[in-house]
């Protein structure tokens, strides 16, 4: 058996096993793994980091439904089970590519389960990863255009974290929030239904929201605060404005937590 | 805890957990997961299949080095450990996106470890998946242009499997075999060193080999028999000749083994 603490690469570096809570949605989990590989300095197989992905989408109820009070079934229970499964498999640092599931009402329940059996595991927050990345990118601050699901925006998850870092979040107008939500979850054209490739309609809708955040609200940075959005919007610069992808920021922090020398 | 046998989706279908032996190389593991998701009929998160990916590249020695007699360390031991880890995590059907590692000298050792503790697990062979797909595609037969690593070609893995199915394998000339191997593993431009995106040089080299298989050896189908190649060659048709991607064939068979009703 591979014990969790015997991982090292060919150079004898100590490598912590990365665990990814996938399935929220499945393509967002895949996207995070891809970005972990892209951020790893490696020229052959053996130089890549140890990682596990658990994607059990059928087990995890819709996050927005719970957060918006339409269901009492807390997805944090199933997410906690997946985290425990990763920990039993040897994961030492865990990331979850779903911003909405970082709402305290869900995440606290999941982490409570995880820490009860595996208190030594390090959970890397996508919210903190993204906010720290923005602070490093724009030390002077400036309004951050926040894109995400209605549930994420309503819980104030990013607004609070940005405010604590001295940054101001600017959210789209009501109609644009609805348009973003449709681009993510509409079963006719949304990213969750059509992920690979996404529909032109979803991409156009998201870019139009971004364009209005820039033109009408004068944001100096765009934050893709939903892990479905970077499946459609892959730009790192849009109309000369930097675009921060929260999944990408999380990938970097997971590589750093596994082995800082391997961060590319 | 999620038991392995309580997986069902929202329609109450029985879903077997798919386990992926990743890391051989890491981007090939990612590619298989992507193709599993693409072959799943799903319009929302909860309709996707349960799956686990274990990518522990630092633990698995180079496969060709062992097969070509340059090392006595059998990678099958580490691969067997990873399979056992997947089985303990709940995997019920296992796939491994690395053709070279399907050589009996490696695979038999790995499966022996797996079946000793988990005889009920179903291992889905990428070789058999690809050959069955070719048979369905070309019931009348015709010469199959085989592309892969030198180790895979030398072990006769595909040649034997194709012959058993009444199909003829045609392999590239010696210089072209070297060129394919470089396109895969050269540290300056090969796919293992530059996976995402691949280099134009690797892609051009592979397409030139494919072109000569068609023009000079008159193959009626191209088989991408190394899981690195489809990272560079994504065509399903090349110069009017069908291209069969072994990773894609394996993805389909894994979806079928998990839940046939979900195969898209």
Q: Tokens at residue A240, please?
A: 């000369």
Nearest residue in A to B114, CA atom:
A1
Please say if the pLDDT value at position B206 is more than 90: yes
Q: What are the CA-CA distances from residue B238 to residues A218, B195, B216, B234 (Å)?
A: 48, 21, 15, 10
pLDDT tens per residue across span A172-186: 999 999 999 999 999
Q: How confident is the model at residue A13 (pLDDT cuts 50, 70, 90)?
A: confident
Q: Is A182 in the B-facing interface, judged by CB distances under 8 Å?
A: no
pLDDT tens per residue across span A15-55: 999 999 999 999 999 999 999 999 999 989 999 999 999 99
CA distance B217 to chain A (A): 33
pLDDT tens per residue across span B13-51: 789 999 999 999 999 999 999 999 999 999 899 999 999
Average pLDDT, chain B: 94
Whether the domain at B4-125+250-262 and the domain at B126-246 fall into the same CATH topology? yes
Nearest residue in B to A51, CA atom:
B55
Nearest to B50 among A7, A27, A56 (CB): A56
Looking at this predicted complex, what is its ipTM? 0.94
CA distance A23 to chain B (A): 7
- Please tell me the pTM assigned to this model: 0.95
Q: Where are the domains of chain B?
A: 4-125+250-262, 126-246
| Pairing mode, strands A221-224 and A241-245 | parallel
Interface probe for A, chosen from B11, B35, B58 (most Cβ of A below 10 Å), is: B58
CA distance B100 to chain A (A): 14
Please say if the pLDDT value at position A1 is more than 50: no
The whole-number pLDDT of residue A11 equals 60
* CATH hierarchy code of domain A4-125+250-262: 3.40.50.1860
Q: Tokens at residue A176, please?
A: 């644009």
Nearest to B15 among A10, A58, A62 (CB): A58
Q: Tokens at residue B209, please?
A: 């080999």
Q: Once rounded to an integer, what is the mean pLDDT over residues A242-247?
A: 98
Please answer whether residues A220 and A142 qualify as being in contact, where contact means their C-beta atoms are separated by less than 8 angstroms: yes
CATH top-level class of A126-246 = alpha beta
User: Which residues from chain B sit within 8 angstroms of residue A59, using beta carbons?
Assistant: 2, 7, 50
User: Which residues from chain B sit within 8 angstroms of residue A33, using beta carbons?
Assistant: 30, 33, 53, 55
Q: Is B188 in the A-facing interface, judged by CB distances under 8 Å?
A: no
Taking an 8 Å cut-off on Cβ atoms, the answer to whether B37 and A27 are in contact is yes
Q: What are the CA-CA distances from residue B107 to residues A110, B30, B118 (Å)?
A: 38, 21, 16
Taking an 8 Å cut-off on Cβ atoms, the answer to whether B193 and A44 are in contact is yes
Q: Give the ranges where B69-227 is alpha helix by DSSP (H).
A: 75-89, 104-117, 126-137, 150-155, 157-164, 174-185, 200-217
Please answer whether residues B60 and B79 qualify as being in contact, where contact means their C-beta atoms are separated by less than 8 angstroms: yes
Place of tokens 């992905």: A53
Nearest to A55 among B50, B54, B195 (CB): B50
Pick A260 or A11 by higher pLDDT.
A260
Q: Is B153 in the A-facing interface, judged by CB distances under 8 Å?
A: no
CA distance A191 to chain B (A): 9
- Could you tell me how far CA A157 lies from the centroid of its own chain? 13
User: Which residues from chain B sit within 8 angstroms of residue A16, using beta carbons?
Assistant: none
Cis previous bond, A64, omega within 30: no
């Amino acid at each position: 058996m591979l014990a969790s603490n015997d991982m090292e690469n060919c150079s004898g570096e100590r490598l912590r096993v990365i665990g990814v809570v996938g399935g929220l949605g499945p393509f967002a989990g895949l996207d995070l793994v891809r970005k972990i590989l892209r951020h790893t300095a490696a020229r052959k197989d053996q130089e890549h980091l140890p990682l596990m992905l658990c994607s059990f989408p059928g087990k995890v109820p819709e996050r927005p439904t719970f957060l918006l009070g339409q269901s009492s079934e807390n997805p944090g229970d199933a997410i906690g089970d997946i985290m425990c499964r990763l920990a039993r498999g040897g994961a030492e640092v865990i990331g979850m590519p779903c911003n909405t599931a970082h709402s305290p009402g869900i995440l606290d329940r999941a982490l409570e389960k995880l820490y009860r059996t595996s208190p030594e595991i390090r959970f890397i927050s996508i919210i903190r990863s993204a906010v720290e990345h923005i602070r490093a990118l724009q030390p002077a601050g400036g309004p951050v255009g926040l894109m995400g699901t209605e549930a994420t925006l309503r819980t104030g998850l990013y607004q609070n974290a940005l405010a604590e870092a001295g940054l101001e979040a600017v959210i789209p107008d009501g109609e644009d929030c609805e348009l973003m939500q449709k681009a993510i979850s509409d079963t006719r054209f949304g990213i969750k239904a059509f992920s690979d490739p996404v529909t032109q309609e979803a991409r156009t809708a998201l870019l139009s929201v971004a364009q209005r955040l820039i033109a009408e609200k004068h944001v100096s940075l765009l934050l893709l605060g939903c892990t479905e959005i970077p499946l459609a919007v892959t730009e790192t610069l849009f109309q000369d404005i930097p675009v921060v992808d929260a999944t990408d920021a999380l990938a970097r922090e997971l590589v750093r937590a596994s082995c800082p020398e391997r961060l590319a």
